Structure 1
Amino acid sequence: MAKKSATKKQESQDFSKYIRLFWKLFLAGILGVFLMFMLASWGAFGEMPAIEDLQNPKTNLASQIISSDGKLIAKFYLDDNRTPVEYDQLPQHLVDALIATEDARYHKHSGIDAIGTLRAFVFLGSRGGASTISQQLSRQLFVGVASQNILERITQKIKEWVIAIRLERQYTKEEIIAMYFNIYDFGNNADGIRSAASIYFGKEPSELDIKESAMLVGMFKNSSLYNPRPHRNPVGTKNRRNVVLSQMEKYDYITKQVRDSLQKTELDLDYNPQSHREGLATYFRAYLTGFMKDWIKDNPKPDGSKYNLYNDGLKIYTTLDSRMQKYAEDAVQRHMPRLQAEFDNQNTPKRNPTAPFLELDNTEIEALMKRAMRQSERWRIMKDEGKSEKDIESSFYKPTGMTVFAWREGLATEVDTIMKPIDSIRYYKSFLHPGMMSMDPQTGHVKAWVGGMNYRHFQYDHVKQGKRQVGSTFKPFVYATAIDQLHLSPCDTLPKQQITIEANKFGNPEPWTARNSDGDYTGFVTLKNALANSINTVTARLMDKVGPQPVIDMAKNLGVEQDILPVPAVALGTPDLSVYEMVAAYATFANKGVYNKPVMVTRIEDKNGTVLYQFTPESKDVLSEEVAYVTVNLLEGVTQGGSGTRLRHTYAANNSVYKEIITGYPYQFDNPIAGKTGTTQNQSDGWFMGMVPNLVTGVWVGAEDRAAHFSTITYGQGASMALPIWALFMKSCYADKDLEISKAAFDVPAELSINVNCSNKGDSNTTDDPLDDVKDVIDF
Structure 2
Amino acid sequence: MAKKNVTKKTNKPTQNPSSFKKYIKWFWITFASGIAGIFLLFLLASWGFLGEMPSFEILENPQTNLATQVISSDGKVLGKYYLKDNRTPVDYNKLPKDLVNALIATEDARFYDHSGIDVRGTIRAFAFLGTRGGASTISQQLARQLFVGVRSRNMFQAGIQKIKEWVIATRLERQYTKEEIIAMYFNIYDFGNNADGIRSAARIYFGKEPQDLQIEESAMLVGMFKNSSYFDPRRRPETVKTRRNVVLAQMHKYEYITEEVKDSLQKLPLALNYTPESHNEGLGTYFREHLKGFLKKWVNENPKNENGDKYNIYLDGLKIYTTIDSRMQQYAEEAVEEHMKKLQAEFYHQNTKKRNKNAPFAKDVEQKSIDLAMDRAIRQSERWRVMKEEGKSEKEILASFDVKLPMTLFSWTHKNNRVDTIMTPRDSIIYSKFFLRASFMSLEPQSGKVKAWVGGINYRNFKYDMVKQGKRQIGSTFKPFVYATAIDQLHLSPCDSMPNGPFCIEEGKYGLLEPWCPKNSDGEYEGMRTLKGALANSVNTVTARLMDKVGPANVRSLAQRLGVEAEIEEVPSIALGTPDISLYEMLGAYGTFVNKGVYVKPVIVTRIEDKNGTILYEFVPETKDVLSEEVAYTVVNLMEGVTQSGSGRRLRTKGANKWNKMYDEIMTGYPYEFKNPIAGKTGTTQNNSDGWFIGMVPNLISGAWVGGEDRQIRFASTTYGQGASMALPIWGLFMKKCYADDGLSVSQDKFPKPDEEDMTIRVDCDKADPSKGNTNEDDPDDKLDGIDFD
TM-score band, normalised by shorter chain: over 0.9
Moved more, 133-142 or 356-365: 356-365
* 1:754 equivalenced with 2:756 (yes/no): no
Paired with 2:778 and 2:573, the residues of 1 have a C-alpha distance of: 22
- Say whether the 8 Å CA contact 1:641–1:777 is kept in structure 2: no
* 1:677 equivalenced with 2:682 (yes/no): yes
Q: Secondary structure at the match of 2:760?
A: coil
Partner of 1:470: 474
> 1:28 Cα shift?
2.1
1:384 maps to a residue whose letter is E
Partner of 1:589: 593
Equivalent runs, 1:538-577 vs 2, <5 Å: 538-577=542-581
1:571 maps to a residue whose letter is A
Q: What stretches of structure 2 of length at least 5 have no aligned partner?
A: 1-6, 657-663, 783-790
Return the match for 2:328 from 312, 324, 340: 324
Return the match for 1:442 from 443, 446, 451: 446
* 1:153 equivalenced with 2:158 (yes/no): yes
> 1:434 Cα shift?
0.7
Return the match for 2:296 from 268, 293, 296: 293
Equivalent runs, 1:221-232 vs 2, <5 Å: 221-229=226-234, 232=235
Using the size of structure 2 for normalisation, the TM-score is: 0.93
* 1:252 equivalenced with 2:258 (yes/no): no
TM-superposition CA deviations, 1:684-726 (whole Å, max 9, x none): 1010101111111111010010111000011111111111111
TM-superposition CA deviations, 1:146-174 (whole Å, max 9, x none): 11111111111111011111100000000
* 1:182 equivalenced with 2:187 (yes/no): yes
Partner of 1:500: 504
Q: Secondary structure at the match of 2:441?
A: strand
- Say whether the 8 Å CA contact 2:683–2:781 is kept in structure 1: no
- Say whether the 8 Å CA contact 2:647–2:724 is kept in structure 1: yes
- Say whether the 8 Å CA contact 1:134–1:164 is kept in structure 2: yes
> 1:506 Cα shift?
2.1
Paired with 1:49 and 1:466, the residues of 2 have a C-alpha distance of: 50
Q: Secondary structure at the match of 1:137?
A: helix
> 1:13 Cα shift?
5.8
Q: 1:760 to 1:311 in 2, by over 3 A?
A: closer
Partner of 2:171: 166
Paired with 1:258 and 1:371, the residues of 2 have a C-alpha distance of: 64
- Say whether the 8 Å CA contact 2:444–2:699 is kept in structure 1: yes
Partner of 1:616: 620
TM-superposition CA deviations, 1:520-558 (whole Å, max 9, x none): 112222221211111111111211221111111111111
- Say whether the 8 Å CA contact 1:648–1:669 is kept in structure 2: yes
Partner of 1:195: 200
TM-superposition CA deviations, 1:78-116 (whole Å, max 9, x none): 111111111111111111111111111111111111111
Partner of 1:266: 269
> 1:22 Cα shift?
2.9
Q: 1:170 to 1:619 in 2, by over 3 A?
A: same
2:239 maps to a residue whose letter is G
TM-superposition CA deviations, 1:590-623 (whole Å, max 9, x none): 1111101111112222222222222221110111
Paired with 2:354 and 2:69, the residues of 1 have a C-alpha distance of: 51
Using the size of structure 1 for normalisation, the TM-score is: 0.95
Moved more, 73-82 or 307-316: 307-316
1:9 maps to a residue whose letter is Q
1:233 maps to a residue whose letter is R
Equivalent runs, 1:353-364 vs 2, <5 Å: 353-358=357-362, 359-364=364-369
Partner of 1:69: 74
Q: Secondary structure at the match of 2:352?
A: coil
> 1:5 Cα shift?
8.8
Equivalent runs, 1:279-358 vs 2, <5 Å: 279-302=282-305, 303-348=307-352, 350-358=354-362
Q: Secondary structure at the match of 1:265?
A: coil
> 1:262 Cα shift?
1.4
Q: Secondary structure at the match of 1:435?
A: strand
Paired with 1:149 and 1:324, the residues of 2 have a C-alpha distance of: 56
Moved more, 583-592 or 66-75: 66-75
Q: What stretches of structure 1 of length at least 5 have no aligned partner?
A: 653-659, 767-771
Q: 1:506 to 1:396 in 2, by over 3 A?
A: same
Paired with 2:619 and 2:329, the residues of 1 have a C-alpha distance of: 21
Paired with 2:352 and 2:154, the residues of 1 have a C-alpha distance of: 66
Partner of 1:277: 280
Partner of 2:104: 99
Q: 1:663 to 1:777 in 2, by over 3 A?
A: farther
Q: Secondary structure at the match of 2:417?
A: strand
Q: Secondary structure at the match of 1:719?
A: helix
Q: 1:16 to 1:368 in 2, by over 3 A?
A: same
Return the match for 1:735 from 718, 734, 740: 740
Partner of 2:517: 513
Percent identity (aligned): 66
Structure 1 vs Structure 2 CA RMSD: 2.2
Return the match for 2:125 from 120, 129, 133: 120
- Say whether the 8 Å CA contact 2:476–2:577 is kept in structure 1: yes
> 1:298 Cα shift?
2.0
- Say whether the 8 Å CA contact 2:672–2:736 is kept in structure 1: yes
TM-superposition CA deviations, 1:535-594 (whole Å, max 9, x none): 111111211221111111111111110111111111111111001101101111111111
Paired with 1:466 and 1:592, the residues of 2 have a C-alpha distance of: 29
Q: 1:454 to 1:745 in 2, by over 3 A?
A: same
Q: 1:664 to 1:44 in 2, by over 3 A?
A: closer
1:300 maps to a residue whose letter is P
Q: Secondary structure at the match of 2:439?
A: strand
- Say whether the 8 Å CA contact 1:640–1:651 is kept in structure 2: no
Q: 1:91 to 1:473 in 2, by over 3 A?
A: same
Q: 1:763 to 1:8 in 2, by over 3 A?
A: farther
- Say whether the 8 Å CA contact 2:405–2:425 is kept in structure 1: yes
Q: 1:399 to 1:393 in 2, by over 3 A?
A: same
Partner of 1:7: 13
Q: Secondary structure at the match of 1:500?
A: coil
* 1:211 equivalenced with 2:213 (yes/no): no
* 1:491 equivalenced with 2:491 (yes/no): no
Paired with 2:345 and 2:218, the residues of 1 have a C-alpha distance of: 44
> 1:349 Cα shift?
6.7
Partner of 1:24: 29
Partner of 2:787: none
Partner of 1:656: none
Partner of 2:785: none
Equivalent runs, 1:359-758 vs 2, <5 Å: 359-408=364-413, 413-650=417-654, 665-750=670-755, 751-758=758-765
Paired with 2:752 and 2:8, the residues of 1 have a C-alpha distance of: 125
- Say whether the 8 Å CA contact 2:78–2:283 is kept in structure 1: yes
Moved more, 32-41 or 170-179: 32-41
> 1:233 Cα shift?
0.9
- Say whether the 8 Å CA contact 2:521–2:780 is kept in structure 1: no
1:348 maps to a residue whose letter is T
> 1:651 Cα shift?
9.5
TM-superposition CA deviations, 1:423-443 (whole Å, max 9, x none): 111111111011111111111
Return the match for 2:91 from 86, 91, 100: 86
Q: Secondary structure at the match of 2:707?
A: strand
> 1:508 Cα shift?
2.0
Paired with 2:94 and 2:673, the residues of 1 have a C-alpha distance of: 44
Moved more, 395-404 or 149-158: 395-404
Q: 1:190 to 1:476 in 2, by over 3 A?
A: same
Paired with 2:33 and 2:311, the residues of 1 have a C-alpha distance of: 52
- Say whether the 8 Å CA contact 1:227–1:233 is kept in structure 2: yes
> 1:761 Cα shift?
5.5
1:605 maps to a residue whose letter is E
TM-superposition CA deviations, 1:499-531 (whole Å, max 9, x none): 111111222221111211111112222221211
Paired with 1:458 and 1:436, the residues of 2 have a C-alpha distance of: 15
Paired with 1:33 and 1:421, the residues of 2 have a C-alpha distance of: 65
